[in-house]
Every structure is written in C-alpha cells, then in structure tokens.
C-alpha cells in the first residue's frame, strides 16, 4: 500500500487554511532530494510557511511537495520529497500532526499472500 503521509498532509493543509490559520511545514533538510534555501536551515531542519499568501504554485503530490517562494527577496523553487516532511501545523496554535519515520520507499506493508487478501474468502459456519 502507498504511504498515508501525502493524504494526511493534504487534509491537514486544507483544514488549517479553511480555519484561517497559517500552515507551517517542518522539513528534514538533510534528506536526499530536498531543495530549500540552505541559509535558513538550523540543526538540519527548516520550517516553511506554505500559506497561499506566502507562496505560489503549491503542489502537494504523493511523492513530494513543490512550490515557488521568496527567501530574502530572491525567488526559489522548493522541492521536498514526502519522506522529508516531518510535520504540518498551524502557526497560530500549533495544532497539526507530526509524522513518524517510514522506511524509505514504504508506506503500509504490502500484502504478502499469507493470512488473507487475494483468492476466495474462507468462511465457516459456527453454531
């Protein structure tokens, strides 16, 4: 199965924005493929304001988060692989979600053919 992280991220983003708050994204800047302004990284992490007023072209895809933002007056394309997203929360009250680490390339475990899934269900009559 695919990871739940992108689905939860999109839902929480919408919930935060719908409630008139500012969505912040906590990113592990040391993960492979992360493109963020390195001068704002502290202790391997960066917090990004992803509100509609702050950025342009936000795409919350299944594999990554991408957008264009201004940092120190300079426009930069930001790319964050989904595995690097550590949390999304509202700046105003801190409500949101911290994401647990997932093994790279994995979401939920794949069915292995034992104990269900595939084939015909086996039912027994219990009296």
For position 85, which CATH number holds? 2.30.30.220
In a domain, 81, yes or no: yes
In a domain, 83, yes or no: yes
Measured CA distances, 86 to 24, 26, 41, 55, 107 (Å)? 11, 5, 14, 19, 15
Structure tokens at 97: 């979600």
In this model, does residue 75 exceed pLDDT 90?
A: yes
Mean pLDDT of 1-21: 96
Residue 126 confidence (pLDDT): 73
In a domain, 57, yes or no: yes
In a domain, 86, yes or no: yes
In a domain, 108, yes or no: no
Could you give the number of structural domains in the chain?
1
Domain enclosing residue 76, as ranges: 5-94
In a domain, 122, yes or no: no
Residue-wise pLDDT tens digits, 20-54: 999 999 999 999 999 999 999 999 999 999 999 99
Model pTM?
A: 0.80
Torsion over CA: 71, 61, 16, 44 (sign):
negative
Residue-wise pLDDT tens digits, 79-101: 999 999 999 999 999 999 999 88
């Amino acid at each position: 199965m695919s990871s739940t992280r992108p689905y939860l991220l999109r839902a929480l983003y919408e919930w935060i924005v719908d409630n008139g708050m500012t969505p912040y994204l906590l990113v592990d800047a040391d993960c492979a493929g992360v493109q963020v302004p390195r001068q704002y990284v502290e202790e391997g992490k960066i917090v990004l304001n992803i509100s509609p007023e702050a950025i342009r072209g936000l795409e919350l895809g299944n594999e990554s988060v991408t957008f264009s933002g201004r940092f120190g007056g300079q426009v930069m394309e930001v790319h964050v692989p989904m595995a690097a997203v550590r949390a999304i929360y509202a700046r105003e009250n801190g409500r949101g979600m911290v994401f647990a680490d997932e093994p790279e390339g994995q979401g939920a475990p794949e069915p292995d053919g034992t104990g269900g899934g595939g084939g015909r269900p086996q039912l027994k009559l219990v009296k």
